[in-house]
Amino acid sequence: MGHRIAFHRYAGQQLASLLPYHKKGLTFGPQVCEWAAVVPMAKAAFFLSCSLALVNKSVAEEILTEAATSDALQNREQPWRIVFSETIQYLERGRKQSQSVDTMTFENFYPEITSDKFKDVLLTPEQCAGRVGQWVIPGLICGVLFPEMASSMLEIWVTRERKWKDLGVGGLRVDETPLLTSVEEACKHAQSLYEAWQRQ
């Protein structure tokens, strides 16, 4: 397994490849994408990994174990629950502070991701893949440790109304609604992404 790209990086690359890249300045310069367009893919990464954990908890734990040992040499002997303890505590705090598990959304947990302070940020394809991929680990953890909350958040995400957001550049707009229409479809898509990663 050591020669294969980590699952969170693979998922980040696959989802980021769907973003609306354009030349900086529209006619010249490197390919870039607005932060507003990256946000829906970051959410997709979180929810696809939640889905994978809900469908196959043992696979999700294997991925977390591999991620914990591959990212830093000092983590080699530590279980993933210790390596990712800050993420676990953050999710736990959010769950305790929420009024109801049934109304929790991604934005409730991570309001900073949609903050206006990022509205003018342009990212290269490599940066987009990294930003999108970083949401896979929290999604896996949420699905493994808090399945009821993950399932409820996933249901809310896939049933959102269609909404377009203006990126503020050359009339570009992004569809903020998920590409998936049901929890079952999200789980099937997550499983197929995992299988594609396994074949690489």
Regions of the chain where pLDDT drops below 70: 1-2, 25-27, 71-77, 99, 101, 161-180
For residue 172, the model assigns a pLDDT of 59
How many DSSP H helices and E strands does the chain contain?
10, 5
SS3 content of the chain, % helix, strand, coil (to 5): 65, 5, 30
Residue pair 135/49 in contact (Cβ under 8 Å)? The answer is: yes
Query: Would you state the pLDDT for residue 48?
Result: 93
Residue whose entry in the numeric block shows the structure tokens 């999700």: 60
Domain ranges of the chain: 7-199
The Cβ-side half-sphere exposure at 31, using a 13 Å CA radius, reads 9
The whole-number pLDDT of residue 105 equals 85
The confidence score (pLDDT) of residue 76 equals: 60
Q: pTM of the full predicted structure?
A: 0.86
